[in-house]
Amino acid sequence: MSLSKVEPLFLAKLNQLQQQGVRKDDEKIITGILASEDGFGLRYQLHGYGGRAFLRMNSNSYLGLAQHPAVIEAEARAVEQYGAGPGAVRFISGTYASHVELERRLAAFHGREAAMLFSAAYATMVGVLPQLISGQTLVVSDALNHNCIINAIRLAQPAGKAIYAHGDMHDLEKILSTNRDRYQRVCVVTDGVFSMRGDHAPLDEFDACCAKHQSDYPEGIVTVVDDSHGIGAFGKTGRGTEEITGGRADVLVATLGKAFGVNGGYVTASATVIAYLRETAPSYIYSNPITPAEAAAALAALDILESTEGLDQLNRLRNLSTKLRSGLQQLGFETLPGEHPIVPVFIRDTAKTAALVAHLFDHNILATGLNYPVVPQGDQEIRLQVSAGHTERDLDYLLNALADFSQ
């Protein structure tokens, strides 16, 4: 069959994205990592850019564990023991000892009865959320929830959907009050830490609001939180938004691909919920799991996170994030308060955002610009992401480059 009739439509869409200034274009290819020296952290080399060495300010590896010797060694040992891949989906013959042990450890880490691994956090949300939604369920979602939540809701086709203003518990209260006679069940879903801004949901108030209306619905209210950017990067012991706020989700989704420095996603909840999801979640049943070696590497990362070294790295991460926010404010840039290592720099203009990204790149700094429609119109920003692998000298270098930019 020919693509001649549809390719012009695809090209028109690509041209439209280019004109809007939101086309991603070619991906930058990392070809090497240079060791820390002279008080600076790691530097990255890119294909096509000669010997230039870049400071990476757009990585989710908040604790720098992707380069930790113990994590690398654990993965290498497991590859030697089990091979490069799982060879099958879990229920056929793809379950390895490291998968089972990691699930046990993650459940214990979060104080839950059980946990369940997926190939990615996106696959986790898309696999889990529709299974919690029936044909008589209202789904209520924060206005700034991640794309994985949005698409999971679309896939679920709930009886009703409502969006509450970002972090607005009064708006959530209104939605739950006005729909009490219309649905059997409610599923309320939110990010823990919001990936574009680094702010977090008030889970304590969120829980209280949902508990107040629990008896209004025959099948109750199920709360789902995706804290992929919070776990391992937020809270004194890295337990994320729940630790910061004191709230607690019924179903908690997170990732191994950010602070843990590996790959994959997971969900943790009651034993009954996890048993149910193993039988019903398509992205678990029909998709290969993370490799046994990745699971072993994640176990090593969890060991580090739960150690004195992990606590020290979390403290370092908070201090570096505070330093960057303070430096931005002194330079007159707009950001948000907080302790999370996502530090947004609001430019609020698409052209200026693109210009700042280019300016930083010219100074050998990798940073990500977020423009409409990825973020709401008027919220255009540069998203800076701090890692415990950064140094104070790295942040001084970044702030000096920002000082040279004409706003």
- pLDDT digit string, tens, across residues 346-404: 999 988 998 999 999 999 999 999 887 777 788 889 999 999 999 999 999 999 999 99
Q: Is 195 a catalytic residue?
A: yes
> How many C-beta neighbours within 10 Å does residue 32 have?
11
Are the C-beta atoms of residues 166 and 143 closer than 8 Å to each other? Answer: yes
Look at residue 30 in the predicted model and tell me its pLDDT: 95
Which helix or strand (DSSP H or E) is residue 265 part of? strand 265-269
Contact 219, 185 (CB under 8 A): yes
Please tell me the pTM assigned to this model: 0.95
Distance CA 302, CA 106 (A): 8
Give the type of residue at 165.
A
Contacts for 188 with CB less than 8 Å, ≥ 6 apart: 139, 140, 141, 172, 176, 206, 210, 221, 222, 223, 224
Reading phi first (left if > 0) and then psi (alpha if -120 to 50, else beta), residue 34 is in beta
Give the contacts of 340 (CB within 8 A, at least 6 positions apart). Answer: 193, 198, 199, 200, 229, 230, 233, 234, 321
Report the pLDDT value the prediction gives residue 74, as an integer from 0 to 100: 98
Least Cα distance to 231 among 270, 205, 197, 200 occurs for 200
Taking residue 16's Cβ as centre, other Cβ atoms within 10 Å add up to 11
Cis peptide bond prior to 8, omega within 30° of 0: no
Instruction: List residues bridging with 33 in a β-sheet.
Output: 44
pLDDT at 371: 81
Give me the pLDDT at residue 407, please: 58
Q: Give the span between the Cα atoms of 178 and 367, in whole angstroms.
A: 43
DSSP string, 334-388: B---SSSSEEEEE---HHHHHHHHHHHHHTTEE-EEE-TTTS-TT--EEEEE--T
C-beta separation of 402 from 357 below 8 A: no
279 burial level (CB within 10 Å; 0-12, 13-18, 19+): exposed
pLDDT bracket for residue 222 (50, 70, 90): very high
Chain-centre distance for alpha carbon 128: 16
- pLDDT class for 181, splitting at 50, 70, 90? confident
Give the least confident one: 40-44, 169-173, 377-381, 399-403: 377-381
The one catalytic residue among 68, 99, 258, 340: 258
As a whole number of angstroms, the distance between CA 213 and CA 314 comes to: 36
Q: What are phi and psi of 170, to 5 degrees?
A: -70, -40
The answer to whether residue 406 scores a pLDDT higher than 80 is: no
**What is the reported pLDDT for 328?**
96
Angle 285-290-293 from CA coordinates, rounded to 5°: 140
For the stretch 251-309, pLDDT in tens is: 999 999 999 999 999 999 999 999 999 999 999 999 999 999 999 999 999 999 999 99
Give catalytic status of residue 170 as yes or no.
no
- Structure tokens given for 166: 């970002």
Active site residue: 68, 99, 110, 229, which one? 229
Coil, strand, or helix at residue 114?
Answer: strand
Of 195, 228, 321, 387, the catalytic one is 195
Report how far residue 175's alpha carbon sits from residue 171's, in angstroms, rounded to the nearest whole number. 6
Check whether 25 has a pLDDT greater than 90. Answer: no
**From CA 221, how far away is CA 133, in angstroms rounded?**
11
Mean pLDDT of the chain: 95
Contact 255, 120 (CB under 8 A): yes
What's the confidence (pLDDT) of residue 330?
Answer: 96
Q: Is 229 a catalytic residue?
A: yes
